[in-house]
């Protein structure tokens, strides 16, 4: 076994960068630790500006040939990558569970199959991407999507491989080359993806993976003049830093940021369904940007809703995410756990009441928490906690529900529970959100636009919207005059 290889759950993972089709070590490393038990998973290559420059140079060198590759061939390679993901699905699942603590059963049944689907979807969408030609005073307009160039993709730790490939797949399909920087708290499956892509026949330099801290390698990537697109999923403060870094080169950005999404429960809703939707917000230990962490319940049913919620939440099993029976695993990092507990303890000190939870458990686990008696302008209502912490507030009528729902600086998603179709339409039309779910949650289709409003992000990706971002759109106008007969 190489000194640059670590074994995680029986799977060998190379801990070096992947640049220009080769493994590249760094002078220093950082330690990757499992949130399950605090065990060391490996010493990971700690990239600097030098590795950033090398990766961008490799992406730039590989770009002309990949951009000129016919769509059908690019699609074939993406399908081959999806095949590789499916062959190694179990390996990817066990490694990612060890790395970020999310449920193994979810990785096996939903997350890793979605990784493969990301590649297949954008491969297929590419082959039919187009716009009908149209006429302007006898002139023909033809719209085309031209590859933009090297793309820097910076991805989060809460769903590492799925969210990485949500960006990587359309960027590659569009004919671009990629430098992927995974989060330092969960870097391992990005390394495995590099292996899978190489085995699938993706040319050297088309996909590069570099690891490290944002302050050491991220800034060098986002400020590089040869980068043509930057896509980032993460926090608002980091997005502001990236935006500032990219501004000098006017590099286009796609930013999917935090959320403080509401779940509106009206008195005419199916309360059992509404309770199930509310409890579902504890998924992934509350580490989901889309989570409806602010539960807003109509006053007349609030007491009954709360009773059923407490009863339903009590059935959740918290523990080792590798156990098939577990519903809630650990939080990603001690620093994140401290952040979560800080929010809760400050809220309680300010007068909030923990109906359930409100405390740390052994290890990196936090008890599922529901806080009531919280003010609308309080920190725990206004700021993203990113842990298993929900708040419950009441409203008197539809207008108040909408006002409370929209009263944060975020606008990523919203969920509405109601038995009245007309109300669902009215309320959904007034909510500030990139996605609104009615009587459901987390139903996502890759052909739909995805992104946030306000401080929840800039831009939309998904379907043709992804290609609009990852490409330079061109309109070619052709006159019917001036043609010579070359027959």
| Three-class DSSP labels, the chain | CCCCEEEECCEEEECCEEECCEEECCCCEEEEECCCCCCEEEEEECCCHHHHHHHHHHHHHHHHHHHHCCHHHHHHHHHHHHHHHHHCHHHHHHHHHHHHCCCHHHHHHHHHHHHHHHHHHHHHHHHHCCCCCEEECCEEEEEEEEECCCEEEECCCCCHHHHHHHHHHHHHHCCCCEEEECCCCCCHHHHHHHHHHHHCCCCCCCEEECCCCHHHHHHHHHCCCCCCEEEEECCHHHHHHHHHHHHCCCCCEEEECCCCCEEEECCCCCHHHHHHHHHHHHHHHHCCCCCCCEEEEEHHHHHHHHHHHHHHHCCCCECCCCCCCCCECCCCCHHHHHHHHHHHHHHHHCCCEEEECCCECCCCCECCEEEECCCCCCHHHHCCCCCCEEEEEEECCHHHHHHHHHCCCCCCEEEEECCCHHHHHHHHHHCCCCEEEECCCCCCCCCCCECCCHHHEECCECHHHHHHHHEEEEEEEECCCCCCCCC
* Superfamily of structural domain 5-257: Aldehyde Dehydrogenase; Chain A, domain 1 (3.40.605.10)
Q: What is the pLDDT of residue 2?
A: 74
- Phi-psi group of 101: left, alpha or beta (phi > 0 → left; psi -120 to 50 → alpha; rest → beta): left
Average pLDDT of the segment spanning 215-232 = 96
pLDDT at 157 over 70: yes
Q: What is the pLDDT of residue 275?
A: 98
Instruction: For residue 476, name the pLDDT band (cuts at 50, 70, 90).
Output: very high
pLDDT (tens digit per residue) in 296-326: 999 999 999 999 999 999 999 999 999 999 9
The mean pLDDT value of the chain amounts to 96
pLDDT (tens digit per residue) in 102-117: 999 999 999 999 999 9
pLDDT at 169 over 90: yes
pLDDT at 131 over 80: yes
Instruction: For residue 487, name the pLDDT band (cuts at 50, 70, 90).
Output: low
Task: Give this prediction's pTM.
Answer: 0.96
pLDDT at 1 over 60: no
pLDDT at 126 over 80: yes
Instruction: For residue 357, name the pLDDT band (cuts at 50, 70, 90).
Output: very high
Domain ranges of the chain: 5-257, 262-438
pLDDT (tens digit per residue) in 371-418: 999 999 999 999 999 999 999 999 999 999 999 999 999 999 999 999
| Beta strands 11-14; 5-8: pairing state | antiparallel
Percent pLDDT > 90 in the chain is 97
Q: Give CA–CA dist 423/430, Å, rounded.
A: 11
Q: Give CA–CA dist 456/289, Å, rounded.
A: 9
pLDDT at 433 over 80: yes
Average pLDDT of the segment spanning 225-243 = 96
Q: Do domains 5-257 and 262-438 have the same CATH topology?
A: no
Residues marked active site are found at: 256, 289
* Superfamily of structural domain 262-438: Aldehyde Dehydrogenase; Chain A, domain 2 (3.40.309.10)
Percent pLDDT > 70 in the chain is 100
Q: Which of 1-10, 192-201, 283-292, 461-470 has the lowest mean pLDDT?
A: 1-10
Q: What is the pLDDT of residue 242?
A: 95
């Amino acid at each position: 076994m190489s000194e640059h290889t670590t074994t995680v759950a029986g799977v060998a993972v190379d801990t070096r960068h992947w640049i220009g089709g080769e493994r590249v070590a760094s002078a220093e490393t950082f330690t990757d630790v499992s949130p399950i038990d605090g065990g060391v998973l490996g010493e990971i290559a700690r990239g600097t500006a030098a590795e950033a420059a090398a990766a961008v140079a490799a992406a730039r060198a590989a770009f002309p040939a990949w951009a000129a590759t016919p769509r059908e061939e690019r699609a074939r390679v993406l399908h081959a990558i999806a095949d590789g993901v499916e062959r190694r699905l179990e390996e990817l699942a066990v490694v990612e569970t060890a790395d970020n603590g999310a449920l193994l059963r979810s990785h096996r049944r939903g997350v890793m199959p979605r990784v493969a689907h990301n590649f297949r979807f954008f491969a297929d969408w590419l082959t039919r991407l187009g716009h009908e030609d149209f006429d302007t005073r006898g002139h023909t307009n033809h719209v085309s999507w031209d590859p933009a160039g090297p793309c820097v993709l910076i991805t989060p730790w809460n769903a590492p491989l799925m969210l990485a490939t949500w960006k990587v797949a359309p960027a590659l399909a569009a004919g671009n080359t990629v430098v992927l920087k995974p989060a330092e708290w969960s870097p391992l499956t990005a390394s495995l993806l590099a292996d899978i892509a190489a085995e699938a026949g993706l040319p050297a330099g088309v996909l590069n993976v570099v690891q490290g801290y944002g302050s050491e390698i991220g800034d060098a990537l986002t400020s590089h003049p040869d980068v043509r697109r930057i896509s980032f999923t993460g926090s608002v403060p980091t997005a502001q830093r990236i935006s500032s870094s990219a501004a000098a080169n006017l590099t286009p950005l796609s930013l999917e940021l935090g959320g403080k999404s509401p779940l509106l429960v009206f008195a005419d809703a199916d309360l059992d369904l509404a309770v199930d939707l509310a409890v579902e917000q504890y998924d992934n230990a509350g580490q989901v940007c889309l989570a409806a962490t602010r539960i807003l319940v109509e006053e007349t049913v609030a007491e009954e809703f709360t009773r059923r919620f407490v009863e339903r939440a009590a059935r959740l099993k918290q523990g080792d995410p590798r156990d098939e029976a577990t519903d809630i695993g650990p939080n990603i990092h001690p620093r994140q756990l401290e952040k979560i507990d800080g929010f809760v303890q400050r809220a309680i000190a300010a007068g909030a009441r923990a109906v359930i939870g409100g405390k740390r458990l052994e290890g990196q686990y936090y008890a599922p928490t529901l806080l009531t008696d919280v003010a609308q302008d309080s920190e725990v209502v206004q700021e993203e906690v990113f842990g298993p912490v929900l708040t419950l507030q009441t409203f008197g009528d539809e207008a108040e529900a909408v006002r409370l729902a929209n009263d944060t600086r975020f606008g990523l998603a919203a969920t509405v529970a109601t038995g009245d179709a007309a109300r669902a339409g009215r309320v959904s039309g007034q909510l500030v959100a990139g996605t609104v779910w009615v009587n459901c949650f987390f139903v996502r289709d890759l052909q739909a636009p995805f992104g946030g409003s306000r401080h929840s992000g800039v831009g939309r990706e998904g379907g043709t919207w992804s290609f609009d971002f990852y490409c330079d759109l061109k309109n070619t106008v052709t006159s019917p005059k001036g043609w010579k007969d070359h027959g």
